[in-house]
Copies of this chain bind each other. A is one copy, B any other.
Amino acid sequence: MNTWDKVPGMVVHEREPYNAEPPGAALAGRPLTPVAAFYSRNHGPVPDLAPERWRLRVDGLVERPLELSLDDLRRCFGQTEVTATLQCAGNRRTGLAAVRDIPGEHPWGAGAVSTARWSGVRLAEVLAEAGPRPEAAHIAFSAPDVSEVAAPPETYGGSVPLDKARSPEVLLAHTMDGRPLPRVHGAPLRVVVPGWIGARSVKWLTRVTVSDRPSDNYFQATAYRMLPAGAEPGPGEGVPLGPLAVNCAVLTPGDGDRPPSGPVPVAGYALAGEGRTVARVEVSADGGESWTRAETDPAASPWAWQHWRTTVELPPGETELIARAYDSAGAAMPESPAAVWNPKGYANNSWSRVRVRCRG
């Protein structure tokens, strides 16, 4: 095992703060990602919070501010489990960086996405207990991890609109795959916002604040926003990222692999946008001239990815494999990363491309 009990094959983009993704083969074909392979995106040093002293404050525009211990959360509220995929806004950034340089951002491959069974309390129930006032419109999350990406350094935070916060899939999770949250994944409690960029699933949660506006935290007001090409990041610039769009990637074979020519199994994952399902996944080995439909596993939940697989006949020599998915709204993935390039390199959902060189 490696840092933070991760598998040795993790692709570590940064040691401190720890930023790492699993290799494609560790994700392939598995509905649930082993915790030891689950990607980890951090903005500051990993906090070490003593569970027995930890408290969650619920404040802001509420009738009854709360202070809850872990025991309170486990005993006074219903416990719910949701299988949900988290995807970093920067997943597949390498595809964008190949179009034009994206300085200062990690070159995530297609592994900044993972799936777990999360258990905990519905955020809706905690909010109902606190009683949001009529002006309530956004729910902000605060954590104690300090990030030097913000200037001056700032603790991590973000917010989601009240409607999403009240949706039954949004959890305050203390458990991941049946065990207490590991420290690097947010112990003792994190938010899980299925269907939205991972950045809103705030780890090491200590405070939930009901507000009439979005959080002014750096990671809501400045970072994790979609900027038009040519714009500079700055408070309020661009549009805050929230829901995820349809996406997919080839996991195996990996880029640069050298399988024998002939029938080659190809496998990967696909995700649909919020409220949608994956309609189909297609694979091409001839630059998009012809497409083979992949077989798709059922999703473990409406909030989980789907794995897919097919077999393509490959000649000796170099071939580019392309995968693309469609969701139930008919939304397609754009062919070219140039069409979705943006200054911070978020939300790349252009066709997934992998080069292999088959042995003759």
Determine the distance from Cα of A303 to Cα of B334 in the docked complex, in whole angstroms. 24
Alpha-carbon separation in the docked complex, A244 to B293 (Å): 23
Of the residues B228, B243, B331, contact of A349 by C-beta under 8 Å: B331
Query: Looking at A244, A245, A346, which has the most chain B CB atoms within 10 Å of its CB?
Result: A245
CB <8 Å contact, B280 and A330: no
Inter-chain CA distance A282–B228, complex, in Å, is 9
The reply to whether A328 and B243 form a contact with Cβ atoms under 8 Å apart is yes
Answer whether residue A276 sits at the interface, using C-beta atoms and an 8 A cutoff. yes
Task: Let me know if A285 is at the binding interface, CB within 8 A.
Answer: no
A275, B243: Cβ atoms closer than 8 Å: yes
Segment of A18-26, A43-51, A234-242, A313-321 engaged in the interface with chain B:
A234-242
A226 on the interface (CB 8 Å rule)?
yes
Complex contacts, A276 vs chain B, CB 8 Å: 242-243
8 example contacts (A-B, Cβ-Cβ < 8 A) are as follows A226-B328, A242-B329, A243-B275, A243-B276, A245-B327, A273-B273, A332-B340, A335-B339
User: Beyond A243-B328, A335-B336, A335-B339: 16 further Cβ-contacts under 8 Å?
Assistant: A89-B330, A226-B280, A226-B328, A228-B280, A228-B293, A239-B279, A241-B330, A242-B328, A273-B329, A329-B347, A330-B346, A331-B331, A331-B349, A332-B339, A332-B340, A333-B334
Interface residues of A (CB under 8 A from B): 89, 164, 226, 228-229, 238-246, 273-277, 279-280, 282, 291, 293, 324, 326-336, 339-340, 342, 346-347, 349
